[in-house]
Amino acid sequence: MTDLYSTPHPRFPTPNLRVTASPGVDSAAATVVLAMRADASPAVLDHALAAAHREEACLRAVVFGTDTTTAPSVSPLAECTRLGEALAEAGVEFEVQRAGSDPAEQILALAEDHDARLIVMSTKRRSPVVKLLLGSSAQQVILEAECPVLLVK
């Protein structure tokens, strides 16, 4: 007899976070991870592209919105598509993911899974008190990353 109550059954499949990618990204030898806020300055992308070219690496990006006390907002797919178009135009191998429920964990997992050489992360300025109360994805990534992290405003 099947025990339907003690075995979890997902009602819906887990959605894929990958929005767009270049054909050769999965065979890339090196990786730079880009943690891109939807409202970031163009300098963030410039730094990430420079790092990818310097390291001869692909660029794996996570696009996320602002942090809230409950969960980070999920960036619209249009932002992910726009970033994918910019990366294709720049001539690098790339993957763009929309943010899941915990962008910091997602960024760290990407860096660990692909042995990233660098994490380029966009940030916004918050007071120390607000960071203490609300937390910060950037702080978590900095504390837990096993590779260098470049924070760009």
35-69: per-residue pLDDT in tens?
998 888 899 999 999 999 999 999 999 998 765 44
Would you say residue 132 has pLDDT above 70?
A: no
Question: What pTM does this model have?
Answer: 0.79
Place 10 in a pLDDT band, splitting at 50, 70 and 90: low
* Structure-token pair, residue 107: 């960024």
Buried b (16+ CB within 10 A) or exposed e, 43-64: ebbebbbebbeebebbbbbbbb
Residue 114 has pLDDT above 90, yes or no: yes
Q: Residue 87 is encoded by which pair of tokens?
A: 């990366």
Angle between helices 137-144 and 103-113 (to 10 degrees): 30
Is a pLDDT exceeding 90 seen at residue 103?
A: no
CATH 1.10.533.10 applies to domain 18-152: no
